[in-house]
A = this chain, B = another copy of it.
Amino acid sequence: MSRKNKISAGKAVVLLSGGLDSSTTLYLAKKQGFDCYCLIFDYAQRHKKEIESARSVARSARCKYTVVRISLPWGGSSLLDVHRNVPLASDRSEKSIPSTYVPARNIIFLSSALSYAEAINAKAVFIGAHAQDYSGYPDCRPEFYRAFRKAAAHGTKSGVEKKGIEIKTPLIMKNKAEIVRLGVSLGVPFELTWSCYKGGLKPCGKCDSCYYRAKGFKEAGMIDPLIRSRK
């Protein structure tokens, strides 16, 4: 069968932050035959860099995308407040929930994705959350997704009248090195992605997010094309 005649698995909404995980998830959903609609959030995060990255990745994957603006005027996170420092990998405990936790963020993102999916009659919502490495975030754990799936089934028209929208978390049990390897095999343009909590021309190399990204590439035995291209 030619690529052109490939049967579609249906529509899917993919939550895209512009980082390594969500970009890999997008390419995986495409590979699985889904017609992907990317959902990008502008929630007044510290910098717009990740929104630009998300747009670039969506364009590179030749997928439609929508940027949704939502105000969370109550703050409650170092990721929303430029006057607070983001945690450095060197000074935080593995077990604590980091200050970059945004209250109920993934629940808000998933709910909006569910709304979008219902409106366009999509079969699935993809989110690149994973419980490894960043295990400090409660909304990245399998037990949260199990509970959210039930809420979605009971609380939506599609869940009540039809089979409902599947909430897919294909990376949930993978570590960063496995995600890097998967991304490379799928042709994810990692040079377009952005993980650093800070903005700027090149990643800071010191924050939690930079630390785990570097660790992932190192353990996968690969060089991060973003770092190479910015040197």
Question: Which of chain A's residues 50-100 have a Cβ closer than 8 Å to chain B?
Answer: 66, 68-77, 97
Among A115-123, A170-178, A198-206, the stretch in contact with B: A115-123
Copy number in this complex? 2
B76 with A68: CB separation less than 8 A: no
A 148-176 contacts with B by CB, 8 A? 148, 150-157, 159-161
Q: Mark A92-110, 1 if CB is under 8 A from B, else 0.
A: 0000010001111111101
Q: When A69-B71, A161-B97 are in contact, do A112 and B108 touch as well, CB less than 8 Å?
A: yes
Q: Does A111 contact B (CB under 8 A)?
A: yes
Residues of chain B within 8 A of A150, CB atoms compared: 147, 150-151
Query: Are A147 and B157 also in contact (CB < 8 A) when A108-B115, A118-B76, A119-B74 are?
Result: no
Interface residue? A114 (CB, 8 A): yes
Contact (Cβ within 8 A) B141 A148: no
Beta-carbon nearest neighbor of A116 in chain B: B74
